[in-house]
């Protein structure tokens, strides 16, 4: 019987001779074989990839398609990069840009019930959205998702937090702007003037401008464009409106800035320009301005020869080591959005190292404190090869002043004061005093509305 049992287990066939005991032996053999091979009839094998006794688990359904509208003041430089990055990472999410224009102003969209999901904006310009109550406090989404805000630039975060009167966090920075002094090497060579250097003060820059401002061969060449009165205040971190709601234009720092601009723009032949316009034309030797590397890259691709470089922003003696104020470009979520979680997923991904590396390679300063993106800065820009890229990172951005919803009214009066000073119709103190009085009247009118 033992021999029969082994045969049955290994071959499944009976070798027993047919005799009168065959039926009985066969029955016993069957019982023994069953006991030795498992004790019961084998069950059907489970489906491939599933464990015995369990059913095959169905894969989770794909995420529902989501369309997120992205509202912008105008088409921002890395729009295509962001849209494509999100598409690749989250195929079910589509970013649809929506530009601010007539009929699509924020108040129009609120009234129509079509306000967008995401808002792209830079730090100083949130008053309009706050007044409309359309900004979502991101604090809850940050906490529930475990998002690490400590990885983001602290100056940028501090500036954003200033908009939250009760600790609200209305945006997260995607990249930071920067300002430097660009210079035209050909004009310095033409007039035999040494190139500017990193670490110059405004007095140093004005001295150079005096050597370069002239008319030559019927062409007017300007030495230095220091931009507008608002930018001139940028390094000094002073509010336009005081905590009591009054205009602040009689603070001594406004006098310092206007005196600097007067020095520069009263150099014979060195009249005010329009940002970088004259620089691109080749008739301006130096210009202090924000990041325009994308424009230089476009000129390079078109074969336009611009022999330029850059140095650190000239500094005030009263604010050494400071460039223009921190100006991050940020993403916010609308409080009216029906897709807040998906919108935050997009923002979180845009602040990931993966995306930040690409942003940096394309010539925009990463919002991360991680040094790796900075090392890759401008790697994708042919026009940046051989340039003084270090100048971008040598100075620290000035902290943001306490922004007020009515700053624009005071800024407009400051611009008028500068015009009066440059025209010679008023001295600096008189111009600022009168501008402050006009601004106070407008602020009072706003309170009565």
Phi, psi of 79 (to 5 degrees): -55, -50
Rounded to whole angstroms, the Cα distance separating 210 from 73 reads 37
Mean pLDDT of the chain: 88
Query: What pLDDT was estimated at residue 75?
Result: 80
Mean pLDDT computed over 330-347: 97
Q: What is the pLDDT of residues 294-334, one digit of tens each?
A: 999 999 999 998 999 999 999 999 999 999 999 999 999 99
Whether the pLDDT of residue 403 is over 70: the answer is: yes
Residues 6+ apart with CB under 8 A from 346: 68, 86, 90, 93, 95, 118, 331
If you write DSSP's letter for every residue of 170-181 in order, what string do you get? --EEEEE--EEE
How far from each other are the two terminal CA atoms of the chain, in whole angstroms? 108
Q: What is the pLDDT of residues 288-298, one digit of tens each?
A: 999 999 999 99
**pLDDT range class, residue 37, cuts 50, 70, 90:** very low
Query: What pLDDT was estimated at residue 3?
Result: 36
Lowest mean pLDDT among 9-18, 65-74, 303-312, 324-333: 9-18
What pTM does this model have? Answer: 0.84
**pLDDT range class, residue 338, cuts 50, 70, 90:** very high
Whether the pLDDT of residue 46 is over 80: the answer is: no
**pLDDT range class, residue 274, cuts 50, 70, 90:** confident
Q: What is the pLDDT of residues 160-216, one digit of tens each?
A: 999 998 999 999 999 999 999 999 999 999 999 999 999 999 999 999 999 999 999
Mean pLDDT computed over 206-235: 94
**pLDDT range class, residue 50, cuts 50, 70, 90:** very low
**Quick one: which of 289, 287, 290, 230 has its CA closest to 257?**
230
Query: What pLDDT was estimated at residue 228?
Result: 85
Whether the pLDDT of residue 9 is over 60: the answer is: no
Mean pLDDT computed over 223-241: 93
Rounded to whole angstroms, the Cα distance separating 35 from 338 reads 64
Q: What percent of the chain has pLDDT over 90?
A: 79
Query: What pLDDT was estimated at residue 227?
Result: 82
Strands 214-216, 172-176: parallel, antiparallel or unpaired by DSSP? Answer: unpaired
Query: What pLDDT was estimated at residue 55?
Result: 61
Residues 6+ apart with CB under 8 A from 410: 240, 241, 247, 248, 249, 439, 443
Rounded to whole angstroms, the Cα distance separating 135 from 142 reads 15
What domains can you pick out in the chain, each with its CATH number?
Answer: 66-177+327-398 (3.40.190.10), 179-324+405-447 (3.40.190.10)
Q: What is the pLDDT of residues 128-161, one digit of tens each?
A: 999 999 999 999 999 999 999 999 999 999 999 9
**Quick one: which of 135, 439, 441, 172 has its CA closest to 331?**
172
Compare 229 and 337 and report the one with higher pLDDT.
337
Compare 48 and 12 and report the one with higher pLDDT.
48
């Amino acid at each position: 019987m033992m021999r029969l049992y082994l045969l049955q287990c290994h071959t499944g066939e009976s070798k027993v001779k047919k005799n009168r005991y065959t039926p009985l032996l066969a029955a016993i053999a069957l019982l023994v074989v069953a006991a030795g091979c498992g004790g019961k009839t084998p069950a059907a094998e489970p489906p491939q990839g599933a464990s015995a006794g369990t059913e095959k688990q169905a894969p989770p359904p794909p995420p529902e398609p989501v369309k997120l509208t992205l509202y912008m003041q105008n088409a921002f430089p890395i729009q295509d990069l962001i849209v494509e990055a999100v598409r690749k990472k989250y195929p079910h999410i589509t970013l649809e840009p929506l530009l601010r224009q007539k009929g699509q102003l924020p108040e129009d969209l609120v009234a129509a019930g079509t306000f967008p999901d995401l808002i792209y904006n830079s730090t100083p310009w949130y008053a309009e959205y706050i007044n409309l109550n359309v900004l979502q406090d991101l604090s809850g989404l940050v906490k529930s998702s475990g998002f690490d805000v400590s990885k983001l630039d602290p100056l940028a975060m501090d500036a954003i937090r200033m908009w939250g009167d009760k600790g609200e966090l209305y945006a997260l920075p995607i990249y930071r702007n920067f300002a430097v002094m660009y210079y035209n090497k050909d004009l310095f060579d033409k007039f035999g003037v040494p190139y500017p250097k990193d670490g110059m003060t405004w007095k140093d820059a004005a001295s150079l401008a005096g050597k370069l401002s002239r008319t030559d061969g019927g062409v007017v060449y300007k030495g230095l464009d220091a931009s507008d009165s608002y930018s001139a205040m940028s390094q000094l971190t002073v509010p336009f409106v005081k905590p009591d709601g009054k205009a602040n234009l009689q603070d001594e720092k406004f006098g310092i800035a206007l005196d600097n601009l007067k020095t520069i723009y009263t150099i014979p032949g060195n009249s005010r320009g329009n940002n970088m316009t004259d620089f691109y034309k080749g008739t301006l030797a130096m210009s202090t301005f924000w990041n325009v590397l994308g424009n230089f890259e476009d000129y390079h691709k078109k074969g336009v020869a611009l022999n330029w470089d850059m140095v650190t922003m000239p500094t005030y003696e009263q604010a050494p080591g400071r460039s223009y104020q921190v100006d991050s470009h940020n993403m916010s979520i609308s409080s009216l959005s029906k897709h807040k979680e998906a919108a935050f997923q997009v923002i979180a991904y845009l602040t990931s190292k993966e995306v930040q590396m690409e942003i940096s390679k394309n010539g925009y300063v990463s919002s991360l404190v991680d040094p790796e993106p900075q090392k890759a800065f401008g790697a994708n820009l042919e026009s940046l090869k051989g340039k003084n890229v270090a100048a971008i990172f040598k100075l620290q951005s000035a902290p943001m002043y306490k922004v007020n919803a009515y700053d624009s009214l005071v800024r407009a009066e400051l611009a008028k004061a500068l015009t009066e000073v440059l025209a010679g119709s008023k001295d600096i103190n008189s111009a600022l005093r009168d501008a402050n009085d006009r601004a106070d009247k407008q602020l009072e009118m706003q309170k009565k509305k």
